[in-house]
Amino acid sequence: MVTRHLSSLHFMNAFSTKLDKALTNLSLVQFPPDAVRAMRKFSSTEVAELLGVTEAYIRQVSLKGQGPEPETTTHGKRQYTLEQVLELRLHLAEKGRKKWINPRRINGEACQIIAVTNFKGGSSKTSTTIHLGHWLALRGYRVLAVDMDPQASLTSLHGALPGFDYRQGETLYSAIRFDDAIPTDRVVNRTHIAGFDVICAGLELAEFETAVALEMRRNGGTGFLLRVSQALDQVSDNYDIILLDCAPSLNFLTLSSLTAATGVLIPVPAHMLDVDSTGKFLELAASYMQILDDAGAGARWDFAKFLVTKFEANDHPQANMQALMRQVFGEDLLLNAVAKSTAVADALTWKQSLYEVQRSRFSAPKTYDRAIESINAVNAEIEGLITRAWGREL
């Protein structure tokens, strides 16, 4: 009989402990326990771009003493906090000179719930979610991002949130479990970005899979699919857009997310293996959706779009694959693609989105410029999908 010397339990325990300690120490260097994480300030040029007005108009409003009073640097440049940008947006909206300068939804417009999903790891689901969420918040929307992945990458990107520890704090699972579920507003965390809240994830979120299996054994049916939808309904009046960062698997939690969603984004790198994996994801999802349709629980969406991520236009195989995707997906593939960029990788390493980092922090600012231009174009296209779902004429 062969005796193997390596204990699986010892291996997993030893390195999970070591890695957790190393990452915690690294996080403490970036965000010490007494540090207060804050959003960067915005120049009058950036504010004008965000509000869709001229910089001269912003300056004129400031000189007249209207709206918030910006900080003036030693060089005479005006800088606004994001809270002041929002205040200025609402001030200008009162004048009614520009339609939708306050883009928040109005009566008759339902909260948009967008699931970002694909079961291929590394397809940029979390990066897509965080950059879309932060951009929408900068645009004036009220945004809630929900981490649906027990690996909790979206949660990790927000550093140490006050009062939340995934080992002790309340995650989404606390609001969707079948026994003793708590009100959803108790698991919503405010972030350092005005208008952007987050519901965190943790390892306990994986318990939903077991809980659903037990619930189906006891009561049968497809009621479990409504757990996420019912939880989000409790807080949806507080938001214009809710983003669901799904796990890289088509499990019960992802199915519940797709049922709750009003729109779906499927990020796909333009590589053969990623596209092939996406095909299998769609095939498997279709088989599940058929079962749900037969049970009268099928999902209906305002839109579902594919998004090319990590794209290198000068890479011929990728260009060819994008052309194939365009041929197959047609109008269901977003026109814009997210360019592959070291700027994005650097920002995520710092646990920030590109919108949080000052351009001057990058050693190659033009790399940042290309990355932010690419992401802005994608996010603007997605915003167009949202406003069209609301029936707006821009």
- pTM, two decimal places: 0.90
Q: Across residues 282-290, what is the average pLDDT? A: 87
> In the predicted model, is pLDDT for residue 37 greater than 90?
no
Residue bearing tokens 């796990």: 247
Q: Across residues 26-39, what is the average pLDDT? A: 68
pLDDT at residue 160, rounded to an integer: 58
Confidence of residue 139 (pLDDT cuts 50, 70, 90): very high
Q: What are the structure tokens assigned to 311, written together? A: 């794209």
* Pair type for strands 143-148 and 241-246: parallel
Kindly tell me the sign of the dihedral angle through the C-alpha atoms of 213, 178, 301, 281.
negative
Rounded to whole angstroms, how far apart are CA atoms 309 and 8? 36
243 closest CA partner among 142, 169, 347, 335? 142
SS3 62: helix
The helix (H) or strand (E) run that includes residue 33 is none
**First and final C-alpha spacing in the chain:** 74
Rounded to whole angstroms, how far apart are CA atoms 81 and 182? 34
Beta-carbon contacts of 344 under 8 Å, excluding residues fewer than 6 positions away, are 127, 354, 371, 375
Check residues 65 and 228 and name the one with the higher pLDDT.
228
* Pair type for strands 196-199 and 143-148: parallel
Rounded to whole angstroms, how far apart are CA atoms 148 and 33? 26
Amino acid identity, residue 206? A
Q: Provide φ and ψ at 73, rounded to 5°.
A: -75, 175
Q: Of 111-125, 155-169, 271-285, 364-378, give the range with the top mean pLDDT.
A: 364-378
pLDDT at residue 144, rounded to an integer: 98
Beta-carbon contacts of 383 under 8 Å, excluding residues fewer than 6 positions away, are 136, 139
SS3 13: helix
Confidence of residue 134 (pLDDT cuts 50, 70, 90): very high
- Check if the beta carbon of residue 302 is closer than 8 Å to that of residue 112: yes
Rounded to whole angstroms, how far apart are CA atoms 351 and 30? 9
Q: Across residues 99-113, what is the average pLDDT? A: 92
Tell me how crowded residue 313 is: count the other CB atoms within 10 A of its CB: 13
* Pair type for strands 71-72 and 112-116: unpaired
> In the predicted model, is pLDDT for residue 228 greater than 90?
yes
> In the predicted model, is pLDDT for residue 167 greater than 60?
no
pLDDT at residue 380, rounded to an integer: 96
pLDDT at residue 159, rounded to an integer: 61
pLDDT at residue 29, rounded to an integer: 66
Rounded (10°) angle between helices 44-51 and 55-63 = 110
> In the predicted model, is pLDDT for residue 143 greater than 70?
yes
Confidence of residue 168 (pLDDT cuts 50, 70, 90): low
> In the predicted model, is pLDDT for residue 226 greater than 70?
yes
> In the predicted model, is pLDDT for residue 22 greater than 70?
yes
SS3 146: strand
Q: Across residues 22-28, what is the average pLDDT? A: 70
363 closest CA partner among 389, 343, 387, 390? 343
> In the predicted model, is pLDDT for residue 9 greater than 60?
yes
> In the predicted model, is pLDDT for residue 199 greater than 80?
yes
pLDDT at residue 17, rounded to an integer: 80
Rounded to whole angstroms, how far apart are CA atoms 371 and 388? 26
> In the predicted model, is pLDDT for residue 308 greater than 90?
yes
- Check if the beta carbon of residue 30 is closer than 8 Å to that of residue 159: yes
pLDDT at residue 174, rounded to an integer: 92
- Check if the beta carbon of residue 170 is closer than 8 Å to that of residue 176: no
Confidence of residue 324 (pLDDT cuts 50, 70, 90): very high
Confidence of residue 169 (pLDDT cuts 50, 70, 90): low
Q: Across residues 280-302, what is the average pLDDT? A: 84
Beta-carbon contacts of 363 under 8 Å, excluding residues fewer than 6 positions away, are none
- Check if the beta carbon of residue 253 is closer than 8 Å to that of residue 211: no
Beta-carbon contacts of 313 under 8 Å, excluding residues fewer than 6 positions away, are 319, 339
Q: What are the structure tokens assigned to 279, written together? A: 């095909």
Amino acid identity, residue 49? E
- The per-residue pLDDT of the chain, averaged, comes to 88
> In the predicted model, is pLDDT for residue 321 greater than 70?
yes
Check residues 248 and 239 and name the one with the higher pLDDT.
239
Q: Across residues 291-298, what is the average pLDDT? A: 78
Sheet strands side by side (includes 71-72): 42-43, 78-80, 71-72
